[in-house]
């Protein structure tokens, strides 16, 4: 048996103080994201997306954040995938950015909305051609007989769009996560981590509270 109980380390890279926080959590997030990118973290835009379907069973997966602004966080997916079907049942979603190398985490709770089809189409055209073909070839989250069968679907998509611009599929597009709460976590010595929780009040203003680690 592996000895997992002894695997631990101290978190000593920094701290987070209330006076350092931007009153707008989306601007605070943008600052931390820029720092993560500048520090050349691996996959700084990778985030865990957690959804809950009709059965009440949560599920998670890692996707890439593709845009963030004052309205929220945007990612793209197949609208027939498991995550999309679960979001149809329950539009509440949780995001988690695990920047472990710099001992930081950001958690986001919010509601999803589909973005404008023109925005999805514009982003789709910016993707590498192979990724565009993959979107057409993969019936995401559906059972597939084998790797060979999956690649045959990709080959068929190649033939279908040979020499043509590839349009965005109607079953593919973006979601915007509109945040209702956000938490910023900075590791601290002796497990005395710094945690700050933003929540929206009845007037649509962000309130900030420190949480115990």
| Model pTM score | 0.92
Q: What pLDDT sits at residue 6?
A: 87
At 46, the pLDDT band (50, 70, 90 cuts) reads very high
Query: Is-contact 193 107, C-beta < 8 A?
Result: no
Residue numbers belonging to the annotated binding site: 8-11, 61-66, 76-77, 82-83, 105, 123, 127, 131, 140-141, 185, 191-193, 195
Q: What pLDDT sits at residue 160?
A: 93
Give the residue-averaged pLDDT of 153-157.
91
Q: What pLDDT sits at residue 142?
A: 81
**Is residue 148's pLDDT more than 90?**
no
Residue numbers belonging to the annotated binding site for FMN: 61-66, 76-77, 82-83, 105, 140-141, 185, 195
At 39, the pLDDT band (50, 70, 90 cuts) reads very high
**Is residue 139's pLDDT more than 90?**
no
Q: What pLDDT sits at residue 138?
A: 86
Interatomic CA distance for residues 113 and 180, integer angstroms: 13
- Using one digit for the tens of pLDDT, what is the confidence trace for 75-122? 999 999 999 999 999 999 999 999 999 999 999 999 999 999 999 999
Q: What pLDDT sits at residue 213?
A: 96
Interatomic CA distance for residues 152 and 189, integer angstroms: 53
**Is residue 36's pLDDT more than 90?**
yes
At 63, the pLDDT band (50, 70, 90 cuts) reads very high
- Name the burial class of residue 96, with classes exposed (0-12), middle (13-18) and buried (19+) by CB atoms within 10 angstroms of its CB: middle
At 144, the pLDDT band (50, 70, 90 cuts) reads confident
**Is residue 17's pLDDT more than 90?**
yes
Residue numbers belonging to the annotated binding site for substrate: 8-11, 66, 123, 127, 131, 191-193
Given 129, 142, 191, 210, the catalytic residue: 191
Q: What pLDDT sits at residue 14?
A: 86
Asked about 191 being catalytic, the answer comes back as yes
């Amino acid at each position: 048996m592996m000895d997992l109980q002894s695997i631990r380390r101290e978190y000593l890279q920094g701290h987070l103080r209330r006076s350092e926080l931007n009153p707008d959590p989306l601007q605070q997030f943008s600052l931390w994201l820029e720092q993560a990118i500048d520090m050349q973290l691996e996959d700084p835009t990778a985030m865990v997306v957690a959804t809950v379907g009709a059965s009440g069973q949560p599920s998670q997966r890692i996707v890439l954040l593709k845009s963030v602004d004052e309205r929220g966080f945007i990612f793209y997916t197949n609208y027939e995938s498991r995550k999309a079907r679960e979001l149809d049942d329950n539009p509440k979603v949780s995001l988690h950015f695990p920047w472990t190398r710099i001992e930081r985490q950001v958690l986001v709770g919010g509601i999803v909305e589909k973005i404008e089809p023109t925005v999805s189409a514009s982003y789709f055209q910016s993707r590498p051609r192979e990724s565009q073909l993959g979107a057409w070839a993969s019936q995401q989250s559906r059972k597939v007989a084998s790797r060979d069968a999956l690649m045959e679907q990709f080959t068929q998509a190649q033939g279908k769009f040979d020499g043509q611009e590839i349009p965005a599929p109607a079953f593919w597009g973006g979601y915007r996560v509109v945040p209702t709460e956000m938490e910023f976590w900075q590791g601290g010595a002796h497990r005395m981590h710094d945690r700050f929780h933003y929540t929206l009040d009845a007037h649509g203003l962000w309130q900030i509270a420190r949480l115990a680690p």
